[in-house]
Amino acid sequence: MHIDPPLVKTLDSWPSLKKHLRMNEEWLQSFESSDLQTLGDYASTGRIVHTSILTGHEEVVSHPSRSAFLSGALETTSIAKVMHGCRLAPADTARDQFALGVLYRELSFLQTVLVESEFPARFGRKLCGMSVGFAGWLGLAAAVGDLVVLERWASLAVDVMRRGYLRDADSRGLLQWILRLWCDVRRIDYPGTNYPRYAVAEEILQNWDTQDSETLGKWLVQLCNQHTRLTGVQEFADFSNSFSHFPVEVLMLFRLREQAGLVNPQVNHPLMKFPWSRLWPIGPAVPDELLSGLYHRLESDEGLTVRGLYRQLSTS
């Protein structure tokens, strides 16, 4: 690894921690309650009711496990959990919220893969409706220390890439870097597409296991600069989402290095100074009452479990 990394230009302006948290509050007020209502109603009644944009009448979803209304509500709730965690950090209860976000997003991911896997048999072509945005959640799974979820999710994610389910396989290169890093450490081939590559990220990928933590720290400062540059929609929108202020790619690297018995460097960058920019103790994520109810509803009504979905989707 070269001693001096190439310099990545910083943004002229970037939302402060205070502004970021205020934006989170505004988002939560706008979106969280309706989706929680959708999930709560489904968990208690087994029904998802929506208003048809064509007729204006209420309709009941016939197969909730395949419904975008359910997967969308799960995804929104996962984002809300991350935002709640950011408010609580650095308290230990923040980890509980982040871990819940991972579990809600994992279930949404499994739903969308299920739909993708069944689409060709019904319509004679691939749907290709998934986004590589899920890769950021793998970084969060690594950060909160649920390694069981990380390993099973990342493994299926690589299969999803190989099957061509993504609509944005040729973009969002730094998000894909998170999954590429996991593959490199696990000695798994990553499906090649035409996603953007960044010189700083590529060098770190090739030297993820370096013992020169001081030099690695310098390179990671520039990687954090690259992260902030990708928080705007004009540059592939890798992190123009709930991870704009969350260094999920660095935390994935740190967890993998920790597993390999390597020392992680200090990274002198504002992105790494947020109270949530850390590794939490290793342990399982615990579902809350609502998510437990959703698990129970899917199993009792449609015979679907998280473990069963992984088995089914890994072989489909």
Domains of the chain, residue spans: 17-315
Distance in angstroms (rounded) separating the CA atoms of residues 293 and 43: 5
- For residue 64, what pLDDT band results from cuts at 50, 70 and 90? very high
The per-residue pLDDT for range 158-216, each reduced to its tens digit, is 999 999 999 999 999 999 999 999 999 999 999 877 899 999 999 999 999 999 999 99
pLDDT of residue 69: 93
The residue behind tokens 């615990």 is 286
Residue 172 backbone zone (phi > 0: left; psi -120 to 50: alpha; other: beta) = left
At residue 9, does pLDDT exceed 60? yes
- In single-letter form, the type of residue at position 87 comes to R
pLDDT of residue 38: 93
Expressed in angstroms, the distance from the first to the final Cα of the chain is 41
Cis status of the peptide bond prior to 90, with omega within 30 of 0: yes
* DSSP secondary structure of 202-247: HHHHHTTT-S-HHHHHHHHHHHHHHHHHTTSTTTTTTTSSTTTT--
**Half-sphere exposure for 110 (CA within 13 Å, toward CB):** 24
* DSSP secondary structure of the chain: --SSPPPPPPPS----HHHHHHHHHHHHHHHHHHHHHHHHHHHHHS--EEE-TTT--EEE-S-GGG-HHHHHHHHHHHHHHHHHHHHHTTSHHHHHHHHHHHHHHHHHHHHHHHHHHHHHHHHSS----B-GGGHHHHHHHHHHT-HHHHHHHHHHHHHHHHHT-BS-TTS-HHHHHHHHHHHHHHT-PPPP------HHHHHHHHTTT-S-HHHHHHHHHHHHHHHHHTTSTTTTTTTSSTTTT--HHHHHHHHHHHHTTPPPPP--SGGGGSTT-SPPPP------HHHHHHHHHHHHHH---HHHHHHHHHH-
Find, among 267, 262, 272, 139, the residue nearest to 210 by Cα.
262
Query: Is 48 within 8 Å of 70 (Cβ atoms)?
Result: yes
pLDDT of residue 236: 54
- For residue 234, what pLDDT band results from cuts at 50, 70 and 90? low
- State mean pLDDT over 117-129: 92
At residue 58, does pLDDT exceed 90? no
- For residue 277, what pLDDT band results from cuts at 50, 70 and 90? very high
pLDDT of residue 150: 99
Query: Is 272 within 8 Å of 225 (Cβ atoms)?
Result: no
Instruction: Using a pLDDT cut of 90, give the percent of the chain over it.
Output: 80
- State mean pLDDT over 7-18: 84
The residue behind tokens 């982040």 is 98
Query: Is 225 within 8 Å of 269 (Cβ atoms)?
Result: yes
Distance in angstroms (rounded) separating the CA atoms of residues 201 and 274: 21
Angle at 231 between CA 176 and CA 237, to 5 degrees: 55
At residue 233, does pLDDT exceed 70? no
The per-residue pLDDT for range 241-262, each reduced to its tens digit, is 789 999 999 999 999 999 999 9
For residue 59, the cross-strand partners are 50
pLDDT of residue 235: 52
| Chain mean pLDDT for the chain | 93
At residue 227, does pLDDT exceed 80? yes
Distance in angstroms (rounded) separating the CA atoms of residues 228 and 198: 13
pLDDT of residue 10: 86
pLDDT of residue 15: 81
